[in-house]
């Protein structure tokens, strides 16, 4: 007896498709990360009542992901999103486009913010039941919002999607800096308001220039030893005895610059010198200008 043919795109196969596409997504994502020498941790939601299917962590960035999928030739105009997703750290929606014959991913659509930033506003388009009541009214389904296809950004490859999920090297570094600052002691109440805002990660509060006293306050918002990975006393002594960091290296990250400012100030202090000396202050001003330009470039 011949078994009836199986249509993987039928409504009855929706649960199976969801699991297959989730495995496909995770396989492509982890393969791309491993190929780049990066790790990823994956947690699955027991059920999707909290608005997400997966929790991903890579490069210090935590993402709650709602996964959607449709045929690459599909005409679907919107997807329904649980509003609870907006309460999760760096919530986002990944909409997969699937080749209907080969069951491979042909592209993605993205809705989300930068690493460390909340989900953009979901809007106010309600989701309604498909069936009407006895009066012909389709009741609203609470806690859900419709996201139109036009609200998503087209993303062609997994590598491009990884940049959206976890940021490029500079975005990941800024995210790491924000996490580091959050763990540092709060500035004294009498400190300038801009200093307290920067400690909270609001880099749009950065002044254009700093006088010598404010430069010291700013420099010591971070633990430069920890930022530089100096975990042992001999490592710290070696850094303090080394030359002043050069500022003309194109690959210097914001955390490198800030840690370098901290270590240079400590070197001068231990040598009984003042960072306000003209040559020293010029170096700090140049380092601060480079650092603030990087921090401002990642303001979202």
Q: CA-to-CA distance for 180 and 173, rounded, in angstroms?
A: 10
DSSP assignment string, 270-283: HTT--TTSHHHHHH
3-state secondary structure of 103: coil
Low-confidence ranges of the chain (pLDDT < 70): 1-4, 129-130, 132-140, 298-300
pLDDT, residue 194, reads 94
At 203-258, the pLDDT tens digits run 999 999 999 999 999 999 999 999 999 999 999 999 998 888 888 777 789 999 99
Q: Are strands 61-71 and 92-98 parallel, antiparallel or unpaired?
A: parallel
pLDDT, residue 27, reads 95
Q: Are strands 126-128 and 140-148 parallel, antiparallel or unpaired?
A: antiparallel
- Its pTM stands at 0.70
pLDDT, residue 62, reads 92
pLDDT, residue 64, reads 95
pLDDT, residue 129, reads 61
At 250-274, the pLDDT tens digits run 778 999 999 999 999 999 998 888 7
pLDDT, residue 45, reads 83
| Residue that the structure tokens 């069951």 belong to | 103
Q: Are strands 61-71 and 105-112 parallel, antiparallel or unpaired?
A: unpaired
For residue 239, count CB atoms less than 10 angstroms from its CB and return exposed for 0-12, middle for 13-18, buried for 19 or more. Answer: buried
Query: What's the gap between Cα 99 and its chain centre?
Result: 29
Which candidate, 300, 70, 59, places its Cα nearest to that of 162?
59
Q: Report the phi/psi class of residue 41: left, alpha or beta, with left for phi > 0 and alpha for psi in -120 to 50.
A: beta
């Amino acid at each position: 007896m011949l078994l009836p043919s199986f249509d993987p795109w039928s409504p009855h196969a929706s649960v199976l498709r969801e699991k297959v596409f989730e495995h496909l997504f995770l396989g492509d994502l982890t393969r791309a990360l491993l190929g780049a020498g990066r790790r990823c941790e994956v947690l699955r939601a027991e059920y999707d009542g909290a608005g997400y299917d997966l929790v991903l962590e890579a490069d210090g960035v935590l993402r709650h992901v709602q996964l959607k999928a449709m045929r690459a030739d599909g005409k679907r105009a919107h997807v329904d999103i649980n509003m609870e997703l907006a309460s999760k750290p760096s919530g986002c929606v990944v909409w997969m486009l699937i080749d209907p014959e080969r069951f491979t991913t042909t592209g993605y659509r993205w809705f989300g913010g930068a690493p460390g930033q909340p989900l953009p506003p979901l809007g106010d388009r309600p989701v309604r039941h498909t069936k009407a009541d006895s009066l012909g009214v389709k009741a609203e389904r609470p806690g859900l919002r419709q996201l139109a296809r036009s609200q998503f950004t087209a993303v062609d490859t997994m590598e491009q999607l990884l940049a959206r999920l976890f940021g490029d090297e500079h975005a990941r570094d800024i995210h790491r800096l924000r996490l580091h600052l959050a763990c540092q002691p709060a500035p004294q109440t009498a400190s300038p308001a801009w200093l307290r805002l920067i400690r909270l990660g609001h880099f749009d509060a950065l002044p254009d220039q700093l006088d010598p006293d404010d430069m010291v306050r700013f420099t010591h918002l971070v633990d430069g030893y920890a930022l530089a990975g100096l975990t042992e006393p001999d490592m710290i002594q070696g850094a303090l005895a080394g030359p002043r960091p050069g500022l003309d290296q194109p690959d210097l990250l914001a955390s490198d610059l800030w840690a370098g400012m901290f270590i240079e100030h400590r070197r001068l202090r231990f040598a009984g010198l003042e960072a306000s000396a003209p040559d020293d202050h010029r170096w700090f001003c140049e380092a601060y200008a480079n650092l603030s330009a990087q921090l401002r470039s990642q303001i979202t």
